[in-house]
Amino acid sequence: MDTSFLLPFSLMLLITLSIFFTLTSSATLTTDQDALLAFKNAITVDTNGLLRNSWLTNTSICDWNGVSCGIKHHRVTALNLSNFALHGKLTRHLGNLTFLQTLDVSSNNFIGALPAELSKLRRLKQVNATSNNLSGEIPRGILTNMSLLEDIDLMYNKLSGELPSDICNNTPKLKRLFLGVNQIYGNIPRNIYKCSKMEELGLSRNMFNGNIPTQVGNLSMLTFLALSYNGLQGNTPSSIFNVSRLEFIYLRGNKLYGRIPTNLDSLLNLQGLYLSGNNLTGEIPKGIGHLSCLTHLDLAVNSLTGMIWLLL
Ligand SMILES: *[C@@H]1O[C@H](CO)[C@@H](O)[C@H](O)[C@H]1NC(C)=O
Ligand SMILES: *[C@@H]1O[C@H](CO)[C@@H](O)[C@H](O)[C@H]1NC(C)=O
Ligand SMILES: *[C@@H]1O[C@H](CO)[C@@H](O)[C@H](O)[C@H]1NC(C)=O
Ligand SMILES: *[C@@H]1O[C@H](CO)[C@@H](O)[C@H](O)[C@H]1NC(C)=O
Ligand SMILES: *[C@@H]1O[C@H](CO)[C@@H](O)[C@H](O)[C@H]1NC(C)=O
Ligand SMILES: *[C@@H]1O[C@H](CO)[C@@H](O)[C@H](O)[C@H]1NC(C)=O
Ligand SMILES: *[C@@H]1O[C@H](CO)[C@@H](O)[C@H](O)[C@H]1NC(C)=O
Ligand SMILES: *[C@@H]1O[C@H](CO)[C@@H](O)[C@H](O)[C@H]1NC(C)=O
Ligand SMILES: *[C@@H]1O[C@H](CO)[C@@H](O)[C@H](O)[C@H]1NC(C)=O
């Protein structure tokens, strides 16, 4: 059989295919570049020129300051602009960086809302926007439906609104949720227990009210719980004192009343217990003196009685 015609044909196929692949990969690269250029466009002040002098279209986006790409596909996997002295808004186009795993825009002066489009980023693991001037609500999708997300740090902003009652419905990997020093109000949702991998929960210095949900005590991986300086009321749920991994419990400056729970036997890792500035009454539980890791105990400004029995 004469197969000589096959050679030019397969060669042609190869060329067609490679053109096709070049086109598709540059098309997706353009999507990332467009998103980053839109991001740059929304920056009003670039104090140190870190974007102005680096985010130029005659170089690859993968070489731009703060941008990291995947080795194989050259798509943007991380954007780390921490402490870049940028002012401006966070563009909705961030939601087009399909391969993004890490977004760190901490310690800048971003204003406006966190774009809801961020919840389109199915590969996102870390979001850090701490120390900015962001306002508005936290997009619901970020708190309810991001299956790979592990870290959310939005401390020191001006975020407001309530946390969604279906928080944690599909954020099974969330380990750290830091929302301290914002203006978030309403209840701490009971659904929080569905974030079963949670290790650190920081909600201090907001305007949360209502009771501390007993479901916080279902977070068995929790090592750090900070709910200080809110308007939380009611009793301190004894379920919290059953979480044996807890190292720090901060509940200062709320309106908690009733007795301090006495089930202290599980708190073998507790290093700090901060309950000052509430309206706690009754006797200080005897077991406190038996907590062998405890180095910080703050019970001031309550109406407690009794003594602390140290087991030496
Ligand atoms: C890219 O363009 C800028 C100004 O437009 C120029 O200063 C720089 O040298 C160019 N870089 C390269 C690698 O061509
Ligand atoms: C971003 O960069 C800063 C400074 O280089 C670094 O300290 C920080 O850990 C980085 N963030 C992430 C999420 O890797
Ligand atoms: C990127 O996102 C914006 C805003 O969310 C949208 O309007 C635009 O069509 C997207 N662009 C591409 C190239 O996907
Ligand atoms: C977020 O960034 C700040 C620095 O800007 C850093 O101190 C903090 O640890 C980061 N948060 C997380 C959860 O990594
Ligand atoms: C937020 O804005 C206020 C005034 O508008 C400014 O003083 C402050 O430095 C800003 N915060 C950050 C982290 O940029
Ligand atoms: C969760 O996100 C997935 C993927 O983006 C989406 O298909 C689904 O509709 C979302 N579910 C809810 C309840 O929002
Ligand atoms: C939460 O913890 C309580 C008390 O340990 C237990 O009875 C309950 O079944 C737990 N709830 C879930 C959803 O795991
Ligand atoms: C705390 O744990 C003890 C012992 O395991 C159990 O009897 C008690 O029901 C638990 N309390 C709460 C509120 O989960
Ligand atoms: C503390 O509780 C007492 C008695 O219930 C009440 O009279 C008082 O107003 C409360 N104080 C604060 C600061 O909530």
**Mapping DSSP to helix (H, G, I), strand (E, B) and coil, where does residue 291 land?**
coil
Distance 36 CA to ligand 3 centre (A): 11
Closest ligand to Cα 108:
5
Ligand 2 pocket test: which of 48, 65, 80 has the largest number of ligand atoms within 8 Å of its C-beta? 80
According to DSSP H, which parts of 157-250 are helical?
Answer: none
Reported confidence tier of residue 159, pLDDT bands at 50, 70, 90:
very high
Q: Check pLDDT > 50 for residue 8.
A: no
According to the model, what pLDDT value does residue 24 have? Answer: 44
Cα dist from 153 to 91, 126, 227, 280, 287, whole Å: 19, 8, 15, 31, 34
Phi, psi of 137 (to 5 degrees): -85, 155
The tokens for 83 are: 């402490």
According to the model, what pLDDT value does residue 13 have? Answer: 42
- Cβ of residue 34 lying under 6 Å from some atom of ligand 3: yes
Looking from the CA of residue 145, the nearest atom of ligand 6 is: 1
Q: What is the CATH number of domain 189-312?
A: 3.80.10.10
According to the model, what pLDDT value does residue 309 have? Answer: 74
pLDDT in tens, 204-236: 999 999 999 999 999 999 999 999 999 999 999
> Residue ranges of the domains in the chain?
30-186, 189-312
Question: Rounded distance, CA 149 to CA 25, Å?
Answer: 26
What is the C-alpha end-to-end distance of the chain, expressed in Å? 96
Looking from the CA of residue 58, the nearest atom of ligand 1 is: 1
Q: Check pLDDT > 90 for residue 12.
A: no
Question: Rounded distance, CA 182 to CA 206, Å?
Answer: 5
- Cβ of residue 153 lying under 6 Å from some atom of ligand 2: no
Single pTM value for the model = 0.91
According to the model, what pLDDT value does residue 27 have? Answer: 53
Closest ligand to Cα 29:
3
According to the model, what pLDDT value does residue 308 have? Answer: 84
Give the rounded percent of residues in the chain with a pLDDT score beyond 90: 87
Q: How many helices (H) and strands (E) does the chain have?
A: 2, 22
Q: Does residue 138 contact residue 162 with C-beta atoms inside 8 Å? A: no
Phi, psi of 14 (to 5 degrees): -60, -50
Lowest-confidence segment of 11-15, 230-234, 240-244, 306-310 by average pLDDT:
11-15
Q: Check pLDDT > 90 for residue 312.
A: no
Reported confidence tier of residue 22, pLDDT bands at 50, 70, 90:
very low
- Cβ of residue 218 lying under 6 Å from some atom of ligand 7: yes
Q: Check pLDDT > 90 for residue 18.
A: no
- Cβ of residue 80 lying under 6 Å from some atom of ligand 2: yes
Closest ligand to Cα 153:
4
Question: Rounded distance, CA 177 to CA 289, Å?
Answer: 31
- Tokens 């998103």 locate to 35
Looking at per-residue confidence, does 157 or 3 come out higher? Answer: 157
Q: What is the CATH number of domain 30-186?
A: 3.80.10.10
Q: Does residue 79 contact residue 40 with C-beta atoms inside 8 Å? A: no
- Other beta carbons within 10 angstroms of residue 229's beta carbon come to 20
Distance 130 CA to ligand 4 centre (A): 7
- Cβ of residue 156 lying under 6 Å from some atom of ligand 7: no
According to the model, what pLDDT value does residue 23 have? Answer: 43
Give the rounded percent of residues in the chain with a pLDDT score beyond 70: 90
Q: Check pLDDT > 80 for residue 58.
A: yes
According to the model, what pLDDT value does residue 45 have? Answer: 98
Reported confidence tier of residue 11, pLDDT bands at 50, 70, 90:
very low
Distance 50 CA to ligand 1 centre (A): 15
- Cβ of residue 95 lying under 6 Å from some atom of ligand 3: yes
- Tokens 């209502």 locate to 210
The tokens for 73 are: 């596909």
- Walk across the sheet containing 133-137 and list its strands: 43-46, 86-89, 109-112, 133-137, 158-160
pLDDT in tens, 106-148: 999 999 999 999 999 999 999 999 999 999 999 999 999 999 9
According to the model, what pLDDT value does residue 17 have? Answer: 41
According to the model, what pLDDT value does residue 196 have? Answer: 98
Lowest-confidence segment of 70-74, 94-98, 144-148, 224-228 by average pLDDT:
70-74
Nearest alpha carbon, ligand 8 atom 6: 242
User: Which residue, 211, 212, 155, is CA-closest to 184?
Assistant: 155
Mean pLDDT estimate for the chain: 92
pLDDT in tens, 293-308: 999 999 999 999 998 8
- Cβ of residue 82 lying under 6 Å from some atom of ligand 4: yes
**Mapping DSSP to helix (H, G, I), strand (E, B) and coil, where does residue 96 land?**
helix
Q: Check pLDDT > 50 for residue 69.
A: yes
Nearest alpha carbon, ligand 7 atom 14: 218
Looking from the CA of residue 31, the nearest atom of ligand 3 is: 13
According to the model, what pLDDT value does residue 21 have? Answer: 43
- Cβ of residue 58 lying under 6 Å from some atom of ligand 1: yes
Reported confidence tier of residue 7, pLDDT bands at 50, 70, 90:
very low
Ligand 5 pocket test: which of 109, 154, 159, 182 has the largest number of ligand atoms within 8 Å of its C-beta? 109
Lowest-confidence segment of 16-25, 172-181, 185-194, 252-261 by average pLDDT:
16-25
